[in-house]
């Protein structure tokens, strides 16, 4: 078993080296990705599964080393933490200024920007990508009050309940890249570990909390080459 794995790994490395010698050109690529992410550590106490839409521009040098900059947005409707507990009645409702019960709820929102590096192992005209990067992230709870009748959450007052968090961290990914003519599809997994800080916590702005936020994601990507630099003998895009 171990000999077979070692043999396969050797084939991948040798094929990657040969491919790197044959293809000395470079590409500027655009990637569009969808991720389904599961939160971990402190993040899991506040949110459930979320969707992420990510866009990446990368420079692929010698068809083996990819340097990229990216940005993404996160959304979800599964907010576990009840940020309105302090303004609920004993029956569990939120009372509006008009004397009626208000339908107030929260939604997760967030974004990130980052840079990173992918190494491509090429075999049989396909690729395996191993990547690592660093990102700045934010996330918060978007307060929704359709009736606009709760003074505590209307306009900027709602910021005291939005649990705004930001910080930096690292991300790792492993992806399989299936190349077709002038494009590619990727599927893989991505992990993130972020050291963040809570900036607003209920009505006490001084209560900033240090946090560890983790993400575990399944990633689907469409890659479109934009510009080709140099000449090559073999291009698998």
CA 39 – CA 194 distance, rounded (Å): 11
Return the DSSP state at 92: S
Kind plus residue range of the DSSP H or E element containing 7? helix 2-22
Q: Which two tokens stand for residue 150?
A: 């709760």
Distances (CA, A) of 113 to 125, 136, 162, 175, 227: 31, 6, 21, 20, 23
Nearest to 110 by CA among 163, 71, 74: 74
Domain 2-229, CATH among 2.40.160.20, 3.40.50.300, 3.40.50.2300, 2.60.40.420: 2.40.160.20
Task: Please give the pLDDT value at position 81.
Answer: 87
pLDDT digits (tens, 9 = 90+) for 102-136: 888 889 999 999 999 999 998 777 899 999 999 99
pLDDT digits (tens, 9 = 90+) for 191-222: 999 999 988 754 444 456 789 999 999 999 99
């Amino acid at each position: 078993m171990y000999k077979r794995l070692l043999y396969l790994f050797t084939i991948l490395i040798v094929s990657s080296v040969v491919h790197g010698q044959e293809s000395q050109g470079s590409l500027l690529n655009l990637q569009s990705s969808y991720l389904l992410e599961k939160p971990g550590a402190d993040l899991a106490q506040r949110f459930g599964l979320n969707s992420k839409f990510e866009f990446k521009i990368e420079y692929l040098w010698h068809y083996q080393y990819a340097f990229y900059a990216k940005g993404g947005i996160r959304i979800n409707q599964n907010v576990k933490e009840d940020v309105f507990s302090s303004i609920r009645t004993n029956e569990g409702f939120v009372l509006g200024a008009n004397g009626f019960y208000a339908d107030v709820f929260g939604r997760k929102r967030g974004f990130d920007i980052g840079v990173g590096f992918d190494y491509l192992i090429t075999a049989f005209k396909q690729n395996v990508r191993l990547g690592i990067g660093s990102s700045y992230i934010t996330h918060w709870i978007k307060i929704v009050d359709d009736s606009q009748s709760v003074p505590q959450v209307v306009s900027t007052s709602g910021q005291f309940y939005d649990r705004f968090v930001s910080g930096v961290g690292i991300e790792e990914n492993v992806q399989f890249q299936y190349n077709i003519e002038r494009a590619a599809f990727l599927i893989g997994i991505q992990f993130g570990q972020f050291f963040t800080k809570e900036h607003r916590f209920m009505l006490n702005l001084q209560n900033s909390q240090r946090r560890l936020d983790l993400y575990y994601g399944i990633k689907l990507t469409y890659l479109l080459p934009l510009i080709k630099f140099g000449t090559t003998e073999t291009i698998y895009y």
